[in-house]
Amino acid sequence: TVGLTAQEAGYKVYLVGGSVRDLFLRSPNLDLDLVVEGNGMDLAKKLARRLGKVRVRTHKKFQTAKLIFDDGLIIDVATARMEYYKSPAALPVIELSSLKMDLYRRDFTINTLAVSLNPKDFGLILDFFDGLRDLKGKVIRVLHNLSFVEDPTRVFRAVRFEQRFNFRIGKFTEGLIKNALKIDAFKLLTGDRLFHELENMLLEEKATDCMRRLGELNLLEVYHPKLKLSDKLEAILDSVEQVMAWYKLSFLTLPTRPWLVYFLALADPLDEAEMEQLCARLALAPRLRREIKEMRAQTLKVLNRLQRNQLSPSKVYDLLHKLKPAYQLYIMAKARQEWAKKAVSRYLGNMTKVKPLLTGDDLAGMGFDPGPLFKEILERVLAARLDGEVTTKEDELALVKS
Ligand code: ATP
């Protein structure tokens, strides 16, 4: 349909970038990138009309559009800018392949493959920069020497793809990374972009490996000068990975903000002031910065208390329920004793679901005045239930009366 619609409109359309790479790697990808030689926005609108049941978002300035389908599929449509080069002798204007120009602006050779979708040459693979060779050789390679200077976020993308696909950053490309570090190309990066790429790595299944590799390349220092790879840092990151795997297995989903658990672990070696510097460098929103500051302080207290001696379930509940899930998981990863880890996992697995059988109505029926007292009574009942002191509603009533 895409190719046909393009042909009718007189355009050429290609599937490009990560979607083609993932086709070759047989890796699922719900994000398709199209490049149009012609008018991308117009093609997107025509496609939407034809396919129906899709939301279209256009970005006029960049001549791009996004088609968002209900089942999660996203199609990004970009316009390949026509580049005209006048020859000195005023010969006719030469039109370079605009697709090739578009692909030349990309990060790595493995992301420069294109597949033609027009019916006339449907399925034709265009490989201008040896992307297929590098896919086969499992190498991450930039397209030109200034790539990382032009956009230092590519350094983090290189590490992310390397770890995700089990590839290797090419020797020359690795040299360019070292050079980018030497000339401090990262200082011009906005906090926003720096954070976005860090978040992307921390959302990878192999987040710990990404951090390890950043450490090997001395890139952790880009976030904060005190961040360096150490056995201790690796151990806590490994521990987070185990906790995340446990969580995924137990609940068949990830916790909210999974990146934050890794982030807390990464910042483990930093004291409060250094953590603030890190958050500032990453331009985190003031609210999140405040949350991290407060919760991190609480987290340390809770961890100390949890590790001192084994506590009753209601005490564990008391300590943990005011923290958000990311911090609870961080505590679980950091706890040294197995029983302390278990206490957190039991909290996450069972305790959050336990509720008193008595309700506010029951209490009102017993003559109590609604208000703070209700909350207090129900909390006491909950604690008794968590500790196995009450099981039935009658038990609870008896407890309240006593
Ligand atoms: P992912 O699976 O992580 O989404 P992707 O390759 O699809 O991987 P995107 O970030 O969606 O990554 O980018 C889409 C395409 O845009 C990439 O394949 C790449 O060609 C290009 N691209 C993205 N970021 C950059 C960049 N910083 N510099 C150059 N090209 C980029």
Tens of pLDDT along the chain (402 residues) come to: 999 999 999 999 999 999 999 999 999 888 999 999 999 999 999 999 998 889 999 888 888 899 999 888 999 999 986 655 555 554 444 454 589 999 999 999 999 999 999 999 999 999 999 999 999 999 999 999 999 999 999 999 999 999 999 999 999 999 999 999 999 999 999 999 999 999 999 999 999 999 999 999 999 999 999 999 999 999 999 999 999 999 999 988 888 899 999 999 999 999 999 999 999 999 999 999 999 999 999 999 999 999 988 888 889 899 999 999 999 999 999 999 999 899 999 999 887 787 888 887 887 888 877 777 888 888 888 888 888 888 888 888 888 888
Looking only at the bridges linking them, the beta strands covering 74-79 and 31-37 are parallel
- CA of 199 from ligand 1 middle (Å) equals 15
For ligand 1, is residue 17 a contact (CB within 6 Å)? yes
For ligand 1, is residue 209 a contact (CB within 6 Å)? no
- CA of 154 from ligand 1 middle (Å) equals 9
- CA of 197 from ligand 1 middle (Å) equals 11
- CA of 17 from ligand 1 middle (Å) equals 7
State CA 107 to chain mean position distance: 19
10 φ/ψ sector (left φ>0, alpha ψ -120 to 50, else beta): left
The reported pTM is 0.90
For ligand 1, is residue 33 a contact (CB within 6 Å)? yes
For ligand 1, is residue 151 a contact (CB within 6 Å)? yes
- CA of 108 from ligand 1 middle (Å) equals 9
pLDDT of res. 83:
53
Residue nearest to atom 9 of ligand 1 (CA): 18
How far apart CA 65 and CA 43 sit, in angstroms, is: 9
- Could you give the angle at the alpha carbon of 198 between the alpha carbons of 194 and 201, nearest 5°? 145
DSSP 370: S
DSSP 34: E
Using the Cα atoms of residue 168, residue 258, residue 151 and residue 68 in order, give the sign of their dihedral.
positive
Cβ atoms of 55 and 45 closer than 8 Å? no
Q: Among 77, 102, 107, which residue has the most ligand 1 atoms within 8 Å of its CB, making it the best to mutate? A: 107
Q: Among 21, 34, 111, which residue has the most ligand 1 atoms within 8 Å of its CB, making it the best to mutate? A: 111
For ligand 1, is residue 111 a contact (CB within 6 Å)? yes
Nearest 10 degrees: Cα torsion 382, 387, 392, 394: -70
List CB contacts of 51: < 8 A, sequence separation 6 or more: 1, 67
Task: Please tell me whether residue 218 adopts helix, strand or coil conformation.
Answer: coil
**Across-strand partners of 15?**
34, 115
Looking only at the bridges linking them, the beta strands covering 168-169 and 139-140 are parallel
For ligand 1, is residue 106 a contact (CB within 6 Å)? yes
pLDDT of res. 92:
46
For ligand 1, is residue 197 a contact (CB within 6 Å)? no
pLDDT of res. 82:
60
* DSSP H helical ranges for 65-185: 98-104, 131-137, 147-150, 153-165, 171-182
pLDDT of res. 88:
52
- Could you give the angle at the alpha carbon of 178 between the alpha carbons of 171 and 281, nearest 5°? 135
pLDDT of res. 143:
97
For ligand 1, is residue 156 a contact (CB within 6 Å)? no
